[in-house]
């Protein structure tokens, strides 16, 4: 193929296209591709470099470097090298088909690059902007510090000067000199006596008269010489004053640079419908757990199904018993496996290998046994939160289990011993670790009950106006730690801030593809942390809609030239 003839232009019309998107069938230059790959609406699209489009061509056979007459066929897993039929020493090793290994490794790498393209590069762009600000800030801070340090060093010099010229020190110099004088005098006196004693030898009377008038020196007359006090910085200088300026210099160790959602994302209202899907095989969406853009678990009163959103086709059906008016019967964990309450005595897991495992088997139901009514898998800790009730006392609680299945916490009462929950129907967790429960007091009203990570009651939300009653259904939290809850009464979604403050009500939120309102109410919610979409399931009817109100920043000044190397090698290939 002669590329000179077939030059495709990017839709920006400025540059020749280097990428082709298999999802939206557009051509992109490198600059526009970066925008296309990081935009939340298109980041899941499948793009390839132009030279990779012809990847359906058969694989090239490559000659063994040791045996030029033979091509590589197998991959020795033990030695981690490709081998040909003539390569020796691998008889007892585990060998795989070369192409199988290639395809699986190639797929892995592609997925990694895809993730980097979509998320990491975007984060780098934000970090770059942040770093630039930091540099500016640091320079300013450095300048301020410099002048502060000059002032400080002047102060210290003054202290030192003052200390050296201090009167006490001068006094000490004086006392040393006076001691010197005293010693000199004493020695003179002794010398004088010596002389007199010599002169008056053999003249006893004169001698006796003399010593009577002038007492001879004795040992006791030796002047006592005190040590002069030492010059000390601690005695007369106010040490605190001296240290104070020095302690102002501090090296503050800071944590690893981490990007908060508030920096990566922004809210743009109104909420915008992205797509709407009809899920065949259910007659309502009591609870939804989204898995990927085209996979969602939905249940009605009879069954729990995995639906392909693009086709509406049911990919898997699991038997569940929806008892009472339980809502949050399932949740998807970090590994994208489904954890679900099958009935009042079993919590199960539908694994990625399509097997079903029992997570918990409850005791055979007696009225005094706790039975599960809702659950949630924490994406941050991997913990499982299970809402439970018992028939005999009508008590409710939330139990936390770690990944090993060990119960680590029970949340049941507030600090006054009052029961927190009446009937936990749906449960979720906020980014700060808060446990958020949609709780029903009776059929027509209830509250959103929020406790912190340690189980301390933080707040209960019962509606946006005093006296109004909330009838909470499905619940979720978003990237900004807002709590979103469906209200059966107003048929709207209430949005509450992390602190418990009312933010807004949104609705109608059951729409068809073209944004037309459908005659049903929002019932179940699921937040997609990868694509930042809000998924809403309908109460009557079988519609699941995806909404966007969280966006990435689109006009970043610094584009990261991440694929520089790849493209250089591409240029080399061309020549």
In the complex, the residues that contact Zn ion under the rule CB under 5 A are 10, 12, 21, 23-24, 29, 32, 42, 45, 64, 66-67, 76, 78-79, 84, 86-87, 90, 93
At closest approach, how far in Å is the CB of 32 from Zn ion? Answer: 3
Residues 12, 14, 16, 19, CA torsion sign: negative
Please say which residue, 9 or 323, places its beta carbon nearer to Zn ion. Answer: 9
At closest approach, how far in Å is the CB of 333 from Zn ion? Answer: 29
Distance CA 491, CA 505 (A): 10
* Token duo for residue 461: 């939300």
Please say which residue, 42 or 412, places its beta carbon nearer to Zn ion. Answer: 42
At closest approach, how far in Å is the CB of 24 from Zn ion? Answer: 3
Distance CA 314, CA 413 (A): 41
At closest approach, how far in Å is the CB of 33 from Zn ion? Answer: 8
Distance CA 260, CA 271 (A): 22
Please say which residue, 36 or 400, places its beta carbon nearer to Zn ion. Answer: 36
In this structure, what DSSP letter does residue 413 have? B
Please say which residue, 87 or 435, places its beta carbon nearer to Zn ion. Answer: 87
Please say which residue, 23 or 292, places its beta carbon nearer to Zn ion. Answer: 23
- Count of positions (residues) in the chain: 575
- The dihedrals phi and psi of 405, each to the nearest 5 degrees, come to 90, 10
Please say which residue, 23 or 112, places its beta carbon nearer to Zn ion. Answer: 23
At closest approach, how far in Å is the CB of 125 from Zn ion? Answer: 17
Count of other CB atoms within 10 angstroms of residue 334: 12
At closest approach, how far in Å is the CB of 18 from Zn ion? Answer: 9
At closest approach, how far in Å is the CB of 2 from Zn ion? Answer: 22
Among the listed residues 391, 388, 386, 387, the one whose alpha carbon sits nearest the alpha carbon of residue 405? 386
Please say which residue, 83 or 447, places its beta carbon nearer to Zn ion. Answer: 83
Distance CA 60, CA 80 (A): 20
SS3 annotation, 80-147: CEEECCCCCCCCCCCEEEHHHHHHHHHHHHHHHHHHHHHHHHHHHHHHHHHHHHHHHHHHHHHHHHHH
At closest approach, how far in Å is the CB of 513 from Zn ion? Answer: 19
Residue 48 β-bridge partners: 20
Strands 522-528 and 533-538: antiparallel
Distance CA 509, CA 548 (A): 11
Please say which residue, 87 or 411, places its beta carbon nearer to Zn ion. Answer: 87
Distance CA 510, CA 521 (A): 6
Q: What is the DSSP string of 500-551?
A: S-EEEEE----B-TT-PBPSS-EEEEEEETTTTEEEEEESSS-EEEEEEEEE
Please say which residue, 79 or 379, places its beta carbon nearer to Zn ion. Answer: 79
Please say which residue, 93 or 136, places its beta carbon nearer to Zn ion. Answer: 93
Contact 75, 95 (CB under 8 A): yes
Q: What is the DSSP string of 197-229?
A: HHHTTT-HHHHHHHHHHSPPP-GGGSPP-PPPP
Please say which residue, 23 or 410, places its beta carbon nearer to Zn ion. Answer: 23
Please say which residue, 113 or 190, places its beta carbon nearer to Zn ion. Answer: 113
Distance CA 231, CA 345 (A): 84
**Helix/strand/coil percentages in the chain, nearest 5:** 25, 30, 40
Please say which residue, 59 or 192, places its beta carbon nearer to Zn ion. Answer: 59
At closest approach, how far in Å is the CB of 310 from Zn ion? Answer: 15
At closest approach, how far in Å is the CB of 103 from Zn ion? Answer: 20
Distance CA 70, CA 81 (A): 15
At closest approach, how far in Å is the CB of 52 from Zn ion? Answer: 15
Among the listed residues 434, 476, 42, the one whose alpha carbon sits nearest the alpha carbon of residue 289? 476
Please say which residue, 69 or 198, places its beta carbon nearer to Zn ion. Answer: 69
At closest approach, how far in Å is the CB of 105 from Zn ion? Answer: 17
Task: Match 């005659």 to its residue by tokens.
Answer: 519
At closest approach, how far in Å is the CB of 61 from Zn ion? Answer: 13
Distance CA 109, CA 318 (A): 34
At closest approach, how far in Å is the CB of 111 from Zn ion? Answer: 17
In this structure, what DSSP letter does residue 63 have? B
Q: Is 363 exposed, middle or buried (0-12, 13-18, 19+ CB in 10 A)?
A: exposed
């Amino acid at each position: 193929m002669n590329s000179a003839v077939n030059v495709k232009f990017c839709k920006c019309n400025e540059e020749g296209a280097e990428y082709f998107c298999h999802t939206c069938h557009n051509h992109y230059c490198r600059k526009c591709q970066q925008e296309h790959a990081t935009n939340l609406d298109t980041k899941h699209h499948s793009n390839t470099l132009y030279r990779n489009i012809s990847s359906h061509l058969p694989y090239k056979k490559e000659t063994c470097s040791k045996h030029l007459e033979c091509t590589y066929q197998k991959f020795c897993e033990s030695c981690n090298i490709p081998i040909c039929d003539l390569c020796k020493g691998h008889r007892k090793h585990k060998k795989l088909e070369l192409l199988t290994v290639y395809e699986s490794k190639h797929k892995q790498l592609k997925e990694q690059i895809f993730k980097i393209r979509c998320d990491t590069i975007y984060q780098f762009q934000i970090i770059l902007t942040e770093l630039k600000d930091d540099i500016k800030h640091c320079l300013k801070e450095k300048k301020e510090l410099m002048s502060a340090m000059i002032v400080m060093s002047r102060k210290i010099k003054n202290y030192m000067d003052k200390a050296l010229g201090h009167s006490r020190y001068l006094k000490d110099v004086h006392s040393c000199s006076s001691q010197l004088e005293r010693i000199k005098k004493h020695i003179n006196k002794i010398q004088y006596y010596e002389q007199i004693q010599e002169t008056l030898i053999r003249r006893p009377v004169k001698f006796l008269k003399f010593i009577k008038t002038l007492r001879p020196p004795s040992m006791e007359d030796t002047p006592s010489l005190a040590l002069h006090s030492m010059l000390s910085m601690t005695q007369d200088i106010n040490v605190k004053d001296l240290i104070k300026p020095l302690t102002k210099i501090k090296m503050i160790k800071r944590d690893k640079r981490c990007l908060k959602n508030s920096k990566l994302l922004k809210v743009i209202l109104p909420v915008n419908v992205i797509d709407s899907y009809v899920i065949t095989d259910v007659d309502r969406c009591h609870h939804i757990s989204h898995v990927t853009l085209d996979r969602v678990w939905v249940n009605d009163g009879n069954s729990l199904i995995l639906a392909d959103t693009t086709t509406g086709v049911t990919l898997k059906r699991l038997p569940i018993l929806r008892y009472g008016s339980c809502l949050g019967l399932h949740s998807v964990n970090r590994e994208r496996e489904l954890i679900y309450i099958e009935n009042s005595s079993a919590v199960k897991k539908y694994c990625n290998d399509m097997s079903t495992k029992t997570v918990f088997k409850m005791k055979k139901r007696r009225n005094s046994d706790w039975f599960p009514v809702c659950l949630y898998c924490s994406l941050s800790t991997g913990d499982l939160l299970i809402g439970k009730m018992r028939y005999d006392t009508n008590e409710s609680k939330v139990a936390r289990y770690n990944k090993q299945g060990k119960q680590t916490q029970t949340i049941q009462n507030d600090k006054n011993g009052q029961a927190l929950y009446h009937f936990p129907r749906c449960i979720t967790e906020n980014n700060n670790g808060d446990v958020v429960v949609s709780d029903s007091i009776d059929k027509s009203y209830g509250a959103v009950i929020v406790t912190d990570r340690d189980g301390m009651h933080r707040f209960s939300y019962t509606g946006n106006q005093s006296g109004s009653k909330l009838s909470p259904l499905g619940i979720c939290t978003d990237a900004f730690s807002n709590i979103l809850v469906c209200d059966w009464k107003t048929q709207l979604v209430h949005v509450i801030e992390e602190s418990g403050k009312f933010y807004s009500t949104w609705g109608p939120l059951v729409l068809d593809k073209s944004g037309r309102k459908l005659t049903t109410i929002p019932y179940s919610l699921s937040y997609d942390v990868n694509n930042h979409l809000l998924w809403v399931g309908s109460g009557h009817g079988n519609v699941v809609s995806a909404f966007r109100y969280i966006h990435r920043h689109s006009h970043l000044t610094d584009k990261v030239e991440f694929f520089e190397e790849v493209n250089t090698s591409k240029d080399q290939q061309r020549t």
